[in-house]
Amino acid sequence: MSGLLTQMTQSSLDRLEQARARESEKALWARVSDMPPAPALRLSPEGFDIIAECKLHSPSAGDLSANTSDVESRVTDYACGGACAVSVLTEPLRFGGQLEHLTRAARVLAPHDVPVMRKDFLVDPYQVMEGRAAGAGGVLVIVRMLDKSRITALLDCAAMLKMFVLLEAFDAADLEVASEVLAQRRGHDEQILVGLNCRDLDKLTVEFSRLSELADSMPSGYPPVAESGVLTPDDVENAVGLGYRVALIGTTLMNSPKPRELLGKMLATGRQTAMSLTTRKLRIAKGEAVEE
Ligand SMILES: O=P(O)(O)OC[C@@H](O)[C@@H](O)c1c[nH]c2ccccc12
């Protein structure tokens, strides 16, 4: 496992222990099982969506708070720009996150009917419940950090709480584990997206080629998500052209003084690309001639 993921696992375990000392799992469960449901994740019929991310710091980009006076206004901009969900980092050591950011984001996004996803290095179902308690409608689950039984436990907990899951892979081996876990769950009532993160966690560089190399290995039946390093509408066009249905975009939106406009442009480009791909497929299916 990369140095960063090892450090993040430890940070996650430490926070888990502290949280359990404050509130038992039983008490937390009683609290979340009574909550009204979070806004649902809905993907657009236009064939492309963006999960917009709020993170105040990242190991690769450093400080990302310069354009962000507060979490509330940034995530409201994301919702108004058309994001299908907002990802909020809650990891404090390297990503400047807090559970409180999630609570605040969920509060302002509820009237917009946009769900918030807890983005962290989760290792235990307790942390899925903690996310729900803070208002999250979804969680990130990183395949590389966990064995199959842990992944299953996290997915089961999310399903019980009607939360969506972004199941994240870094490479072909992770995708194989993800496919095996998912094969055991066919027919479950749950919403899972499968993400491919193209950031190299040791060098912290983006390897965009991973998106093309592994596009055909994404498990079918789950919306594929292109994660990391999507900076421009051209990158969006590229990802959609490779078959990705959703992009998870953080740094470029955090750095933008006008995130609403940038999101709008990226969504329009992605949807146009998705539309022309569909038209092309239809024409091929009908036996019409299409240009290469
Ligand atoms: O900021 P970027 O390059 O647009 O990337 C967003 C997202 O993919 C990235 O923040 C991310 C993906 N998976 C993670 C896991 C933990 C922390 C961060 C991440």
Answer whether residue 49 is part of any domain.
Answer: yes
Answer whether residue 57 is part of any domain.
Answer: yes
Atom of ligand 1 nearest to the CA of 95: 17
Q: Is 251 in the pocket of ligand 1 (CB under 6 A)?
A: yes
Answer whether residue 229 is part of any domain.
Answer: yes
Query: Which residue lies with its CA nearest to atom 11 of ligand 1?
Result: 228
**Which residues form the domain of 15?**
3-285
Count of C-beta atoms within a 10 Å radius of residue 167: 26
Query: Which residue lies with its CA nearest to atom 16 of ligand 1?
Result: 120
Instruction: Render pLDDT for 127-180 as a digit per residue (tens, 0 to 9).
Output: 999 999 999 999 999 999 999 999 999 999 999 999 999 999 999 999 999 999
Q: What's residue 84's pLDDT?
A: 98
Answer whether residue 88 is part of any domain.
Answer: yes
Q: What's residue 68's pLDDT?
A: 81
Over range 206-217, report the average pLDDT: 96
Instruction: Return the sign of the alpha-carbon dihedral for residues 40, 31, 140, 73.
Output: positive
Alpha-carbon span 187 to 94, nearest angstrom:
38
Over range 62-67, report the average pLDDT: 90
Answer whether residue 35 is part of any domain.
Answer: yes
pLDDT at 291 over 80: no
- Pair 162, 131: CB distance under 8 Å: no
Answer whether residue 267 is part of any domain.
Answer: yes
Q: Which residues lie below 8 Å from residue 193, measured CB to CB, with a gap of 6+? A: 164, 165, 166, 167, 222, 223, 224, 225, 246
C-alpha 98: how far from chain center: 17
Q: What's residue 225's pLDDT?
A: 98
Q: Is 87 in the pocket of ligand 1 (CB under 6 A)?
A: no
Instruction: Render pLDDT for 77-135 as a digit per residue (tens, 0 to 9).
Output: 999 999 999 999 999 999 999 999 999 999 999 999 999 999 999 999 999 999 999 99
DSSP annotation of 271 reads H
Over range 195-203, report the average pLDDT: 93
Q: Is 229 in the pocket of ligand 1 (CB under 6 A)?
A: yes
**CA 119 to centroid of ligand 1, rounded, Å:** 9
**CA 41 to centroid of ligand 1, rounded, Å:** 19
Q: Is 79 in the pocket of ligand 1 (CB under 6 A)?
A: no
Answer whether residue 291 is part of any domain.
Answer: no
Over range 210-236, report the average pLDDT: 97
**CA 95 to centroid of ligand 1, rounded, Å:** 10
C-alpha 69: how far from chain center: 23
Structural domains of the chain, count = 1
Q: Is 197 in the pocket of ligand 1 (CB under 6 A)?
A: yes
Q: Is 38 helix (H, G, I), strand (E, B) or coil?
A: coil
Answer whether residue 68 is part of any domain.
Answer: yes
**Percent of the chain residues past pLDDT 70, beyond the cut:** 100
Among 68, 228, 235, 244, which is best to mutate for testing ligand 1, by the most ligand atoms less than 8 A from CB?
Answer: 228
Among 58, 101, 255, which is best to mutate for testing ligand 1, by the most ligand atoms less than 8 A from CB?
Answer: 58
The CATH number that applies at residue 84 is 3.20.20.70
Q: Tell me, what's the ipTM?
A: 0.97
Q: Is 227 in the pocket of ligand 1 (CB under 6 A)?
A: yes
Atom of ligand 1 nearest to the CA of 251: 1
Among 197, 210, 251, which is best to mutate for testing ligand 1, by the most ligand atoms less than 8 A from CB?
Answer: 197
